[in-house]
């Protein structure tokens, strides 16, 4: 689970242009308007769930999204475990009692501080920008919304692309979960591999990944 803003001015990156075109021009709207979204992907099958947010990301808007996500995620027999970062409104006191009431079927798991690379939703936002925002001119904010939500609509059913994109490998997970945060990133990864091999013995050369969120824990 995560939140994001997509700006009307889009994003700029390297691109191919015809060789006969000299000094290509890409229009750029002179404003900082943006549209916000909460989003979460079900790691078991890649299904995406989102909610547009016209206002600010705060405790109330986060709670509304959590309620909708809970209602969608707990229709079956599985227990839902939501991976999210440590933003203040994710674990606010205002909805603590509600989270405790739902904990048997719906629980939030918080990532270590200052480690956004561990959040699978970050990869969704990066892919969305590449497919919908890069090197495009949007005359209005509504054009941004239409472009983004047209892609989101394709992801509301199970899709293998998102499932594979958001798979979390044990090396990355353990490197940040068990190694000291004062150590360098390479040192944490090395320590993570060492510790993970103790938890998950495997044959040399074999591959192993853990898709968090596909929990069989029923409480």
Could you read off the pLDDT of 64-112 as tens digits, one per residue? 999 999 999 888 888 899 999 988 899 899 999 999 999 999 999 898 8
Three-state secondary-structure class, residue 143: helix
The whole-number average pLDDT for the span 196-204 is 47
The whole-number average pLDDT for the span 188-202 is 54
pLDDT at 195: 53
pLDDT at 55: 84
pLDDT in tens, 131-149: 998 888 898 999 999 999 9
Give the residue numbers spanning the domain of 183. 168-210
- Higher pLDDT: 147 or 178? It is 147
Same domain, 56 and 87: yes
pLDDT at 189: 60
At 154, the pLDDT band (50, 70, 90 cuts) reads very high
At 41, the pLDDT band (50, 70, 90 cuts) reads very high
Q: How far apart are CA 191 and CA 174, in angstroms?
A: 8
Same domain, 23 and 114: yes
The whole-number average pLDDT for the span 22-47 is 86
At 155, the pLDDT band (50, 70, 90 cuts) reads very high
Alpha helices in 92-180 (DSSP H): 96-102, 120-128, 141-154, 160-165, 170-178
Q: How far apart are CA 134 and CA 5, in angstroms?
A: 14
Task: Determine, yes or no, domain membership for 215.
Answer: no
Both tokens of 173, joined, read 């997970």
Q: In the predicted model, what is the mean pLDDT of the chain? A: 79
The whole-number average pLDDT for the span 175-186 is 51
Same domain, 107 and 190: no
- Higher pLDDT: 102 or 181? It is 102
Q: How far apart are CA 45 and CA 159, in angstroms?
A: 6
Same domain, 146 and 206: no
| Domain containing residue 41: CATH number | 3.30.420.10
pLDDT(202) > 60: no
181 backbone dihedrals φ, ψ, rounded to 5°: -80, -10
Residues 6+ apart with CB under 8 A from 94: 59, 60, 63
Same domain, 203 and 123: no
């Amino acid at each position: 689970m995560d939140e994001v803003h997509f700006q009307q001015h889009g994003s700029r990156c390297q691109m191919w242009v015809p060789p006969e075109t000299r000094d290509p021009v890409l229009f750029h709207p002179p404003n900082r308007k943006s549209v916000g979204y909460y989003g979460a992907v079900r790691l078991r099958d890649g299904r995406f769930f989102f909610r547009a947010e016209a206002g600010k990301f705060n405790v109330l808007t986060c709670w509304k999204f959590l309620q909708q996500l809970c209602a969608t995620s707990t229709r079956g027999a599985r227990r839902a475990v939501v991976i999210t970062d440590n933003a203040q409104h994710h674990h606010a006191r205002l909805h603590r009692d509600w989270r405790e009431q739902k904990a048997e079927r719906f629980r939030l798991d918080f990532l270590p501080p200052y480690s956004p690379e561990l959040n699978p939703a970050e990869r969704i936002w990066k892919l969305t920008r590449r497919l919908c925002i890069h090197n495009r001119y949007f005359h209005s904010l509504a054009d941004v919304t239409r472009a983004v939500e047209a892609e989101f609509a394709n992801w509301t059913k199970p899709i293998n692309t998102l499932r594979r994109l958001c798979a979390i490998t044990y090396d990355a997970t353990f490197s940040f979960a068990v190694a000291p945060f004062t150590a360098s990133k390479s040192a944490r990864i090395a320590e993570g591999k060492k510790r993970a091999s103790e938890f998950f013995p495997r044959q040399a050369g074999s591959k192993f990944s853990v898709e968090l969120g596909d929990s069989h824990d029923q409480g």
